[in-house]
Amino acid sequence: MNELARARPAEDDDPPAGSGSSAGAPVALRNVALRYGDPETGTLALKDTELAIEAGEFVAIVGPSGCGKSTLMKLVSGLNPATEGVVSVAGEIVTRPIKIVGMAFQNPTMLPWRRTIDNVLLPLKIVRPYRENFRRDRERNTARAEALLRRVGLHGFSRQFPWQLSGGMLQRASLCRALIHEPSLLLLDEPFGALDAFTREELWGVLQSLWMDRRPTVLLVTHDLREAVYLADRVVVMSARPGRIIFDRRVDLPRPRALDDLFRDTAVQLIHDLRARIEHFQLDETVGEAPGP
Ligand SMILES: Nc1ncnc2c1ncn2[C@@H]1O[C@H](COP(=O)(O)OP(=O)(O)O)[C@@H](O)[C@H]1O
Ligand SMILES: [Mg+2]
Structural domain contains residue 183: yes
Q: Using most ligand atoms within 8 A of CB, pick from 29, 32, 34, 36 the residue to mutate for ligand 1.
A: 36
CATH number, domain containing residue 254 = 3.40.50.300
Structural domain contains residue 7: no
The whole-angstrom separation of Cα 83 and Cα 95 is: 12
Structural domain contains residue 27: no
Question: Which is more confidently placed, 101 or 9?
Answer: 101
Q: Are 180 and 145 in contact (CB under 8 A)?
A: yes
Structural domain contains residue 59: yes
CB of 15 closer than 6 angstroms to any ligand 1 atom? no
Query: What residues make up the domain containing 67?
Result: 55-80+95-288
Entry pTM: 0.90
Q: How many whole angstroms from 210 Cα to the centroid of ligand 2?
A: 24
User: Chain-centre distance of CA 69, in angstroms?
Assistant: 10
The whole-angstrom separation of Cα 14 and Cα 32 is: 25
Structural domain contains residue 124: yes
Which is the closest atom of ligand 1 to the Cα of 68?
17
List of E strands, 190-270: 217-221, 234-238, 245-250
Structural domain contains residue 162: yes
Question: Which is more confidently placed, 286 or 153?
Answer: 153
CB of 30 closer than 6 angstroms to any ligand 1 atom? no
Per the structure, the count of domains in the chain is: 1
CB of 37 closer than 6 angstroms to any ligand 1 atom? yes
| pLDDT at 1 (0 to 100) | 42
CB of 67 closer than 6 angstroms to any ligand 1 atom? yes
Examine the pLDDT at 13 and tell me if it is beyond 50: no
CB of 113 closer than 6 angstroms to any ligand 1 atom? no
DSSP code at position 260: G
| pLDDT at 283 (0 to 100) | 61
Task: Report the SS3 class of residue 21.
Answer: coil
Structural domain contains residue 255: yes
- The band of 129, judged by pLDDT with boundaries at 50, 70 and 90, is confident
Span 231-273, pLDDT tens digits: 999 999 999 899 999 999 999 999 999 999 999 999 999 999 9
Structural domain contains residue 173: yes
- The band of 3, judged by pLDDT with boundaries at 50, 70 and 90, is very low
Q: Whose CA is nearest to atom 27 of ligand 1?
A: 66
Span 14-39, pLDDT tens digits: 444 434 444 799 999 999 999 999 99
Residues in the chain: 293
197-214 vs 138-151: helix crossing angle, rounded to 10: 130
